[in-house]
Structure 1
Amino acid sequence: MIEVAKRLQKVEEYYFSKKLKEVAFLKSQGKPIINLGIGSPDLEPPFKASMMLQDSLMEPEAHQYQSYQGLPELRDAIASFYNKHFQVHLSGQTEVLPLMGSKEGIMHISMAFLNKGDKVLIPNPGYPTYAAVTKLLEAKPVMYDLKADRNWEPDFGALERLDLSRVKIMWINYPHMPTGANATNKFYDKVIAFGKRHDILIVNDNPYSFILNDKPNSIMRYRDAKDVCLELNSLSKTFNMAGWRVGMLVGKYDFVNAVLRVKSNMDSGMFFGIQKGAIEALKCSDIWFKSLNSVYQRRRALVYKLAQALNCTYDDQATGMFVWAKLPPHIKSEEFTDLVLKEHSLFITPGTVFGSNGEGYVRFSLCAEEDLIEEAISRV
Structure 2
Amino acid sequence: MIQTADRLQTVKEYYFSKKLREVRSLITQGKPIINMGIGSPDLAPSTAVVESIQQAVLDSGAHQYQSYQGLPELRNAIASFYENKFNVISDPATEILPLMGSKEGIMHISLAFLNVGDEVLIPNPGYPTYTSVTKLVGAVPKYYDLTETTSWFPNLEVLEKEDLTKVKLMWVSYPHMPTGAKGNKEQFANLVAFAKRNNILLINDNPYSFVLNETPTSLLETKGAKEVCLELNSLSKTFNMAGWRVGFVLGSADHINAILKVKSNMDSGMFYGIQKGAIKALQSTDDWYYDLNDVYRKRRKFIWQLAEKLGCTYDTKAVGMFVWAKLPKTVVSAEKFIDDILYEKDVFITPGTIFGSNGEGYIRFSLCVAEEKIKEAINRFE
TM range, smaller chain: over 0.9
What's the CA shift string for 1:326-370, capped at 9, x where partnerless? 000041100100011011000000000000000000000000100
Query: What's the offset of the Cα at 1:186?
Result: 1.6
Aligned partners of 2:144 and 2:154 also within 8 Å: yes
Tell me what 2:119 maps to.
119
- Tell me the residue number matched to 1:362: 363
Matched to 1:44, the amino acid is A
Question: How far apart are 1:266 and its partner, in Å?
Answer: 0.3
Tell me, in whole angstroms, the C-alpha distance in 2 between the residues paired with 1:140 and 1:162.
15
Partner of 1:324: 324
Q: TM-score, normalised by structure 1?
A: 0.99
Q: Distance in 2 between matches of 1:197 and 1:257?
A: 24
CA contact (8 A) 2:200 2:228 kept: yes
1:182, 1:189 → 2: CA distance? 14
Map of 1:183-222 to 2, 5 A cutoff? 183-222=183-222
Equivalent position amino acid for 2:258 in 1: A
In structure 2, the partner of 1:336 is: 337
Residue 376 of structure 1 aligns to which amino acid in structure 2?
A
Corresponding residue number in structure 2 for 1:304: 304
Match of 2:289 in 1: 289
1:348 aligns to 2:349 (yes or no): yes
TM-score of the pair, normalised by structure 2: 0.99
User: What SS does the aligned partner of 2:280 have?
Assistant: helix
Shift of residue 184, structure 1, vs aligned partner: 2.0
Q: Cα deviations across residues 237-273 of structure 1 (Å, max 9, x unaligned)?
A: 0000000000000011000000000000000000000
Deviation of the 1:158 alpha carbon: 1.6
- Give the aligned partner of residue 175 of structure 1: 175
2:135 aligned partner: 135
Q: Secondary structure of the residue that 2:141 maps to in structure 1?
A: strand
CA distance in 1, matches of 2:116, 2:158: 25
User: 1:360 is aligned with what amino acid?
Assistant: G
Which amino acid is the alignment partner of residue 289 of structure 2?
A: F
Shift of 1:177: 0.3
The 2-side partners of 1:169 and 1:162 are apart by: 15
Kindly report the root-mean-square deviation, in angstroms, between the aligned alpha carbons of the 2 structures. 0.5
Offset of residue 157 of structure 1: 1.4
Distance of 1:295 and 1:203 partners within structure 2 = 30
SS at match of 1:93: coil
Aligned to 2:79: 79
- 1:185 CA displacement: 1.6
CA contact (8 A) 2:203 2:230 kept: yes
The residue type paired with residue 86 of structure 1 is: F
Q: 8 Å contact 2:184–2:217 — kept in the other structure?
A: no
Give yes or no for the alignment of 1:314 onto 2:291: no
Structure 1 unpaired stretches of 5+: none
- State how far apart, in whole Å, the 2-side matches of 1:224 and 1:88 are: 11
- In 1, the alpha carbon distance for the partners of 2:46 and 2:196 equals 40
For 1:157 and 1:225, the matched residues in 2 are separated by 20
Partner of 1:275: 275
**How many pairs align?**
380
SS at 1:65's partner residue?
Answer: coil
Q: Aligned equivalents of 2:136 and 2:39: distance in 1?
A: 25
Query: Within 1, Cα distance between the matches of 2:251 and 2:186?
Result: 21
Query: Which residue in the other structure is 1:245 paired with?
Result: 245
In structure 2, the partner of 1:56 is: 56
2 CA distance for matches of 1:5 and 1:143?
Answer: 25
Displacement of 1:47 in angstroms is 1.1
Q: Which runs of 4+ in 1 moved over 6 A?
A: none
Instruction: Structure 2: give runs of 5+ residues left out of the alignment.
Output: none
- Counterpart in the other structure of 2:149: 149
Letter in 1 for 2:318: A
Q: Distance in 2 between matches of 1:299 and 1:123?
A: 28
SS in 2 for 1:174: coil
The whole-number CA distance in structure 1 between the counterparts of 2:11 and 2:300 is: 33
- Secondary structure of residue in 2 paired with 1:291: helix
Q: Deviation per CA, 1:305-339, whole angstroms, max 9, x where unpaired?
A: 00000111000000001000000004110010001
